[in-house]
Amino acid sequence: MAFCSRLRFCLLVAFACWGVSSGAHAKCRMKNPDVSIAGIVLTDSESAIKIVGAGAKLAESEDDLPHARFVSSNGAQELVLFAHYGAIDDEYAEAEVRVANAEALALQDLPIESFKTGRGVELGMSVAQVQALFGTCFKSRQKTGSELFFEYEIENADRDGDLKNFGYPVYYAEYEFNSGKLVRFRFGFAYP
């Protein structure tokens, strides 16, 4: 009889733990999303003007949003700031950092050697370092050869405690690695 009682107790504990873990999984969310890059807070024109100046020339593209491009002081990194259609001047809602190519050397350089986010993300980080900052709640993950790409997404960001003040419905962050090192990342608020 004691064995049956213990078995029932163990089964109840197991089901309770399963219920907690499945509920926790349903609430899986990116930890502490990034909202700034190199001192520029997304959608804050004042912080952008302090770093890149006022009236940055926006390039139009069929494939992407209007954007301004800059290169680091050592020419190794490129920063791309994306403006949403209808945004006020010098307001950027998305940012991308990537390894600079030869074309980037013709861009306006900023007195910054490495474009680092407010959470400390910068090119060259390992997969484990990025996951330690944001968790493993990916929207998608793709691996091909030595390349790895993963993306986080927060839906209903306009109701999220960390992001609601920005007023956008979707926040996303993408990280691209080559041979285990971060070579490109992009984050911000998806254009509605």
Residue 30 counted as domain residue: no
Residue 58 counted as domain residue: yes
Residue 135 counted as domain residue: yes
Distant-in-sequence, close-in-space partners of 119: CB < 8 Å, separation ≥ 6: 32, 34, 133, 134
Distances (CA, A) of 48 to 44, 72, 116: 7, 15, 14
* Cβ pair 91, 43 in contact under 8 A: yes
Taking the C-alpha atoms of residue 73 and residue 12, their distance in angstroms, rounded to an integer, is 61
- 11-27 tens-digit pLDDT: 333 333 333 333 344 47
Residue 112 counted as domain residue: yes
* Cβ pair 128, 152 in contact under 8 A: no
Let me know how long the chain is.
Answer: 192
Residue 46 counted as domain residue: yes
pTM confidence score: 0.84
Nearest to 129 by CA among 121, 140, 118: 121
Q: What percent of the chain has pLDDT over 90?
A: 75
Q: What pLDDT, on a 0 to 100 scale, did the predictor assign at position 59?
A: 94
Q: Give residue 153's domain range.
A: 36-189
